[in-house]
Amino acid sequence: MAPNEGQSRVPRASIPFNPVFGWSVGNWMEQFFDGMKEGKILASRCPACGRVYLPPRMICERCFAKAEEWVELPETGTVETFTEAHVKLAPNGTFEDIDGPEIIAMVKHDGADTCIAARLEGGGVSVGMRVKAVLDPSAENVLDLLAGYRAAE
């Protein structure tokens, strides 16, 4: 048998494999979403070092303290960094053009020490740009409660 000849003789079979995963977002993120439904942006603060986490998390990793102080932050923040997407991946694995560039920005809310990643509506993004959250408290899916950001006046 010539090298690789056997490959053509090997039958191919598919295995039915449709796993479903459903990850718990966790206690702290549930409280964040509950706040969002009321139009509030809730962050968790470490009682030991004062670091403010948005999105909130249970443990301040630097102090191993439970970040269980909740603080409501304003809707405004600053773009720390960003990218513009020009193509998307098509189901067949090739690139497809999108209508206009989509901006994904890392936004640090006023009063927060960490960033949140979200879509920025409108153009003209720059590092240091002042932005404002666009909330949609009526969204059916909790992940859509924070619709994105747009330039602050």
Contact residues: another protein, CB under 8 A: 10-11, 13-30, 57-59, 61-62, 64
**Beta strands 52-53 and 41-45, pairing class:** antiparallel
Per CB under 5 A, which region of 22-30, 31-39, 44-52, 143-151 contacts Zn ion? 44-52
List % helix, strand, coil for the chain (3-state, nearest 5).
10, 40, 45
* Rounded Cα distance, 22 and 6, in Å: 41
Report the half-sphere exposure of 7 (CA within 13 A, side-chain side).
4
Selected binder of Zn ion within 42, 43, 46, 54 (CB under 5 A):
46
Q: Select from 121, 42, 125, 124 the least CA-distant residue to 79.
A: 125
151 lies in the binding site for Zn ion (CB under 5 A): no
Choose the one of Zn ion, another protein, none that binds residue 8, judging by a C-beta under 5 to 8 angstroms depending on kind. none
Binding partner at 48 among another protein, Zn ion, none, C-beta below 5 to 8 Å by kind: Zn ion
Q: Any idea which residue has 């191993």 for tokens?
A: 64
85 binds Zn ion, rule: CB under 5 A: no
Supply the minimum distance, in Å, between the C-beta of residue 51 and Zn ion: 5
User: β-strands 95-109, 69-73: how paired?
Assistant: unpaired
User: Which listed option, another protein, Zn ion, none, makes contact with residue 53 (CB within 5 to 8 Å by class)?
Assistant: none
State yes or no: residue 58 binds Zn ion (CB under 5 A).
no
CB of 76 to another protein, least distance (A): 28
